[in-house]
Amino acid sequence: MIKVNLLKPEQKDPGKVIDSGSDFMEVKEEKINIPGAVIVAVLTIGIIGFIYITQTNTLEAKKKLYVEKQAEKTKLDAQLKDIKKLKKLKKELQERIKTIKMLKKQQKQPVYMLLEISKAIPERVWINKITIKGAKISFSGTALSQNLIATFTKNIESSVFFRNLNWGGFTKKNQKGVDLFVFRFSVDFVLSSIKEGV
């Protein structure tokens, strides 16, 4: 069998195929596979749609989570303000308790101070004036002799409630024919010597 090309080279159409396997020549045109193209287009659109829906759902979930976190943050901020207020109130109450304890302890100070003075003062010694500034107590008084003043100051120094005696001196004066000695001294009152419940 002999194959003969009957077409001129100019007449060849690249879109046409000649089937030379049969007894006669048949010309076929290539057709575009439309169902395959539709399937590819549908699959592409489906994939894009799936990605879009997934991304949209993820974005919506993140927005929802953000709103929830913002609400939680607002709630926690309110609780934090409450905690700060409570801490401030606690500090104020602790200061008040501390002041009350100090005042309660200081309430005992005059009682113990006067008790110790009454124990320390000998007969024929009179206190004319007591001045209290903080823990410092200043005495001025009158005695019939220098020895009585010495006894008084010695008794004050031997008390656990008094420290740091500062002698201010004395002067002698005659009143209605009697020699009197006017003295002055100061001492620190030791509040820590007061025992609770005594």
Q: Which residue has the higher pLDDT, 135 or 170?
A: 170
pLDDT of residue 104: 77
The pTM is what? 0.45
CA separation for the pair 156, 35 (Å, rounded): 121
CA 80 to chain centre: 10
Residue extents of the structural domains in the chain: 101-193
Which architecture characterizes domain 101-193 according to CATH? 2-Layer Sandwich (3.30)
Band of residue 178 on the pLDDT scale cut at 50, 70, 90 = confident
Q: Which residue has the higher pLDDT, 103 or 19?
A: 103
∠ CA 61-62-66, rounded to 5°: 120
The first and second tokens of residue 150, run together, are 């010495």
Segment 151-177 shows an average pLDDT of 88
Band of residue 197 on the pLDDT scale cut at 50, 70, 90 = very low
pLDDT per residue over 31-57, tens digit each?
Answer: 677 888 888 888 999 999 899 999 988
